[in-house]
Amino acid sequence: MATDPRFLPRSPFVRLMQTHAISVAGDASVAASLAGSLFFAQPTSAARSDILLYLLLTMAPFAVLSPVMGPILDRFRGGRRIMVIISCLGRAVLCLAMVQFIIQPSPEGLLIYPLAFGVLVLQKTYSIAKAALVPAIVTDSSQLVRANSRLAIVSLVASMVGGAPAFLLQVVFDARFSLAFAVMMFTVATFFAFRIPRTQVVQNATEEKLESEETHQPSVLLAGSAMAVIRVAVGVIVFLSAFTFKDDKIGLAFVLGAYAVGGFIGNAVAPVARKRVREEVILTTCLLSAGALSLLGAIAGGDIVGAALASLAVATASAAGRVGFDSLLQRDGPDAARGRAFARFETRFQLAWVAGALFGLIPFSEDFGLFALGFLLVLAGLSYLTALRSARTAPSRSKLRPQVVDQVWDLTKGRVRSRYEASRSAKRKLDEQ
């Protein structure tokens, strides 16, 4: 008699997806709790300064985590799973502490900033660990695009599902109740994280030698640069639109709705496109199409319709491009050092997003901002396409520095080591005499 599928054990990826959905819902609850004090409750000039502080806080976690996260994820048995558990549990504890200070006046109320910083650090820790965990539990490399796409769709849905009740709790009661909702979400996510199986990547001497070469392949470096430009575009369009339509709640909701629709479209299109074209084609198309539609939005006058069109295009490019880049890194990057690779690129993407957001804080007109954004994306798309063609015609090298540099470096290390050992041996003989 066949076993009922409902009673079969869930796959490791399904368990990760469940954890991810609840974790993202908790993050959305925290964002809804802090949005009122950072943005809508203040005049535009004060909101810009507070958002600037928030951006600096957002950038700082990657500067803290980048040097240490990669080795932890790659060296220790089950390190990726442990980091997911710690990040979920830590955010639950910090949000519980934030409940005590979220509505307190100064100076007690200022404690909300270091607590929010801790939540951001753990949120970025989770994102890095989750991204590095995917290729370890998805054994079929041909399913990596679909897996990344499903996780991205889950993120969009969970953000709305988690953010809506949290925002309602804040409006009806206050921010303490929405933060309490976040505590509940992160606690449940911790429970689900324990159900994710342990993974371990064994790295031998040969793989260690190839690690740097594989991470610095032209395909990976160029794709990372292209994705960084898309992340700049995301920061620009989100903050430019937010401040342009800050006093027009209906218009802002329309633009944000277009952004959400674009995210769904990008995640739905990317797996289908990957069956027919390579990841490089996906990234090129994302840059050029988003740039063209942003220019069209600027020509339309930068009104609500133009901003919504640009938001739709940038969100689609961001979702599809990220799925394509993750899959390319999982395709060409070293498996044994994938945690370090994801940590390194996540740092660059976050810095790129902050750079775009800083541009969005400048009080430009919407049409000028959209024109500059479209020009940047089109230029980046053409540059990426040109660089890809140059890389194909160049001699096959797995990294960008000349081979003679590697040979000189190895020779120098050998000579320094032999002289050091000879010096120690001579000193030992003198001591014996």
The domain segmentation of the chain, as residue ranges, is 11-201, 202-392
Peptide bond between residue 107 and the one before it cis (omega within 30 degrees of 0) = yes
Measured CA to CA, the distance from residue 419 to residue 417 in angstroms comes to 5
Measured CA to CA, the distance from residue 405 to residue 102 in angstroms comes to 55
Topology, domain 202-392: Growth Hormone; Chain: A; (1.20.1250)
Q: What is the pLDDT of residue 151?
A: 84
Asked whether the predicted pLDDT for residue 405 surpasses 50, the reply is no
Give the DSSP per-residue string, 158-198.
Answer: HHHHHHHHHHHHHHHS-HHHHHHHHHHHHHHHHHHHTTSPP
**Range with the poorest average pLDDT among 53-62, 297-306, 384-393:** 53-62
Give the model confidence (pLDDT) of 117-136 as tens digits: 788 778 878 887 887 787 77
Q: How confident is the model at residue 376 (pLDDT cuts 50, 70, 90)?
A: very high
What are the distances in angstroms from CA 10 to CA 136, 143, 197, 366, 412? Answer: 16, 17, 11, 48, 53
Measured CA to CA, the distance from residue 107 to residue 72 in angstroms comes to 37
Measured CA to CA, the distance from residue 139 to residue 7 in angstroms comes to 23
Question: Which residues, other chains included, contact 328 with Cβ-Cβ below 8 Å and sequence gap of 6+?
Answer: 219, 220, 223, 279, 280, 283
Asked whether the predicted pLDDT for residue 340 surpasses 50, the reply is yes
> With contact defined as beta carbons under 8 Å apart, do 333 and 283 qualify?
no
What are the distances in angstroms from CA 373 to CA 31, 359, 362, 412? Answer: 26, 10, 13, 47
What are the distances in angstroms from CA 103 to CA 27, 36, 93, 165? Answer: 19, 11, 18, 19
Taking the alpha carbons at both ends of the chain, their separation in whole angstroms is 84
Asked whether the predicted pLDDT for residue 402 surpasses 50, the reply is no
Q: Which CATH class is domain 11-201?
A: mainly alpha
How many residues are recorded in the chain?
Answer: 433
Give the model confidence (pLDDT) of 192-229 as tens digits: 999 888 765 555 555 555 555 556 678 888 888 999 99
**Do 11-201 and 202-392 fold alike per CATH?**
yes
Give the model confidence (pLDDT) of 389-399 as tens digits: 887 665 544 44
pTM value is 0.70
Q: How confident is the model at residue 164 (pLDDT cuts 50, 70, 90)?
A: confident
